Structure 1
Amino acid sequence: MSAPLAVVAVLVAAALFGTTGTAQALGPDQSTPLGVGAARLVLGGLGLLAILPLVGGRRAEAIRLWRTPAGATAGVCTALFQVFFFAAVHQTGVAVGTLTAIGSGPVLAGLLARFVLGERPGRSWLIATGLCLLGLTLLVAGGGDAQRVDVLGVALALLAGLAYAGYTVLAKRQLTDGHEPSTVIAAAFGLGGLLLVPLLLTQPLAWLTEPRGVGIAFHLGLVTTTLAYLFFIRGLAVLPAGPTATLMLAEPVVATTLGIVVLHERLPLISAAGVGLLLGGLLLQGLGTATGKRGPTTEARGLPTQPAVNTHPELEKACLCTSPTSPR
């Protein structure tokens, strides 16, 4: 896959992820944030494992990854992301919950990638991420009462962002070690789904007997998880972790738009300016990524080369550009 197509794949994944908060908000009254998050990961993980042979992966290898430190921790991160993210959205609203969780991802992923993978962020990544985070700050600052910003909700969202960043870096490490992208993603989400089965069984499940509840569960599981992460992993197999996490900030833009159009959440002028900065940062990152000079083959083998496909000329790194990251 070329760098421009990889950028498109990540943006498609981000757009699908952006529908999760609104889907939860439209769920039946009996549903709970933990129940919705658990159902999403259980269905999504099963879906990924079911289609794994059709997309070039192997179930036996995926299960073997569960017994490795990186594979097991990645699975735990996917489970924790669901729990923290849906609880944050319930606590503080779709817009702020999604923005905080996903907005913190690039910074946290960049820091983890620096210390775990040795990636050095380039200037364009820093500028693009800075624009996005400034836009995120304005978007949240303009929220007011309508977006119900509170300390607990923001804290839960930040924990979700940390889990997302952790999964991204660990998945990339597994790709660097030579594992097939689809196998890596199916292993993490399959294990995460298994870990959340006990939690799912403790939640009210009557909403899953209603047509609307079933539709939302399958949308969250098969569309925003199975399908979205197939796009995501293909893009991440080409792009480095930091820029990919920045591109994923398209998710809160979609989530905010849906919150306004579908849920009638208000967006003050200062928040609208924040959306503009977010889009500007995404455009800068997308252009910088798509015009990179290096293809993924050498990097995917873990050999030191020049900056990766979508990376920047100043981004020097070795064996770091096969990835499959976010949580979501």
Structure 2
Amino acid sequence: MPNRLSAPERARFTPAPRRTRRIDGPLPILASALLWGTTGTASSLAPTGAPATGIGSAALVLGGLLLFLTDRSAWSLPRQCGTRERWLLAVGAVAVTAYPLTFYPAVTRTGVAVATVIALGSAPVFTGLLGWLARQGRPGGRWAGATALAVLGCAVLVLGPELAGGGAAVDPVGVLLAALSGLSYAVYSLIAGRLIAAGHPSGGVMGAMFGGAAVLVLPVLLAGPTGWLLSARGAGVVLHLGVITTFLAYRLFGHGLRHTSAQTATTLTLAEPAVAAVLGVAALGERLPALSWCGLAVLAGGLAFLTLPGRR
């Protein structure tokens, strides 16, 4: 039967192609970086004697269990996955567990500034290289330029006070631990992005990985002192870190990975130290030298270059 519809009528009945705006993915990821930026301020309020590893482990146990228990798709995801995807989930859970067990000791050995720069600055590089090796796409020039700007700005922002004051010796073991935390962050970001791109729900992927990590890290928490958890301040810190910076932040991060590559996502999370620095100035009365403000401007420029739509 011949098509008797006119061209305007055919256009009216033809479904319009779905538009994917570039801002859909970056916004949830930047929001998660905003929440992660409160981690340092919140953890500084922990009771005296609370071990750094214990604080991170307690937050992961609470946040991981919340991510797992509040999303039913996380319960059935391992059964729906094939053998290879189950292995990816297991490796992702181990990588999630490794982050607090390497980052917090790195902070103890090298200080917050150096550990933050190495961990967050190395994560986008590791993500780009691992994604390329795993054939998830070679990073483009726009990503490389924006990442270089963002890493440079992050380093100048965080290390500005130490550079202005002459700096101090850096512990090589602490540097290695910080780099390992950046590698673990890159690994579980890539795995989450790959499973979400395969059609699995983002909440289920995050819930399964972080739920498994909560079980793995629980013995570490119980092996150390736990009396600080019974105090009002200790419980408040863990509630904030577990609910806000883990549960809510990674829900947003997983949603953003549905629309953004893991390479771009890890670069965007370099906004975290910027948020932490501004929060320290506003809430804790800290002062930043002019060099750090210049680094903040460079970091913002790199993130804006990556986030704003480019020429088509």
TM-score in terms of structure 1 length: 0.81
CA deviations on 1:215-266 (whole Å, 9 max, x unpaired) are 1101111111111111110011111111111111111111222344445555
Residue in 2 that maps onto 1:303: none
The whole-number CA distance in structure 2 between the counterparts of 1:62 and 1:52 is 13
Residue in 2 that maps onto 1:47: 66
Shift of 1:94: 3.2
The whole-number CA distance in structure 1 between the counterparts of 2:166 and 2:222 is 33
Q: What SS class does the counterpart of residue 70 from structure 2 fall into? A: helix
Residue in 2 that maps onto 1:108: 126
Cα 1:32–1:80 change in 2 (3 A) is same
* Contact 1:181 1:237 survives alignment (8 Å): yes
The whole-number CA distance in structure 2 between the counterparts of 1:29 and 1:178 is 45
Residue in 1 that maps onto 2:9: none
Q: RMSD value over aligned CA atoms?
A: 2.4
Q: Aligned partner of 1:247: which letter?
A: L
Q: What SS class does the counterpart of residue 23 from structure 2 fall into? A: helix
The whole-number CA distance in structure 2 between the counterparts of 1:270 and 1:236 is 33
CA deviations on 1:19-56 (whole Å, 9 max, x unpaired) are 11222222111211110111011001110112103xxx
* Contact 1:40 1:220 survives alignment (8 Å): yes
Q: Aligned partner of 2:178: which letter?
A: A
Which of 244, 261, 286 matches 1:223? 244
Larger Rg: 2
Question: Unaligned 5+ residue runs, structure 2?
Answer: 1-19
Cα 1:259–1:97 change in 2 (3 A) is farther
Question: Unaligned 5+ residue runs, structure 1?
Answer: 293-312, 314-328
Residue in 1 that maps onto 2:227: 206
* Contact 2:192 2:254 survives alignment (8 Å): no
Aligned length: 288
The whole-number CA distance in structure 2 between the counterparts of 1:47 and 1:220 is 12
Residue 89 (structure 1) aligned with residue 107 (structure 2): yes
Residue 26 (structure 1) aligned with residue 45 (structure 2): yes
* Contact 2:127 2:186 survives alignment (8 Å): yes
Cα 1:251–1:207 change in 2 (3 A) is same
* Contact 1:96 1:149 survives alignment (8 Å): no
The whole-number CA distance in structure 2 between the counterparts of 1:63 and 1:216 is 35
Which of 245, 259, 275 matches 1:238? 259
The whole-number CA distance in structure 2 between the counterparts of 1:14 and 1:117 is 27
CA deviations on 1:177-196 (whole Å, 9 max, x unpaired) are 33221111011101111100
* Contact 1:103 1:252 survives alignment (8 Å): no
* Contact 1:93 1:149 survives alignment (8 Å): no
Residue in 1 that maps onto 2:25: 6
Cα 1:242–1:137 change in 2 (3 A) is same
The whole-number CA distance in structure 2 between the counterparts of 1:232 and 1:166 is 14
Q: Aligned partner of 1:119: which letter?
A: G
Residue in 1 that maps onto 2:76: 60
* Contact 1:38 1:197 survives alignment (8 Å): yes
Q: What SS class does the counterpart of residue 118 from structure 1 fall into? A: coil
Shift of 1:126: 1.1
Q: Aligned partner of 2:184: which letter?
A: A
Cα 1:210–1:141 change in 2 (3 A) is closer
* Contact 2:42 2:237 survives alignment (8 Å): yes
Shift of 1:280: 0.7
Q: What SS class does the counterpart of residue 117 from structure 1 fall into? A: coil
Q: What SS class does the counterpart of residue 4 from structure 1 fall into? A: coil
Residue 163 (structure 1) aligned with residue 179 (structure 2): no
Q: Aligned partner of 2:180: which letter?
A: L
Alignment of 1:302-317 (within 5 A): none
The whole-number CA distance in structure 1 between the counterparts of 2:81 and 2:56 is 23
Shift of 1:109: 0.6
Comparing 82-91 and 24-33, the one that deviates more: 82-91
Higher relative contact order (CA 8 A, sep 6+): 2
Residue 150 (structure 1) aligned with residue 170 (structure 2): yes
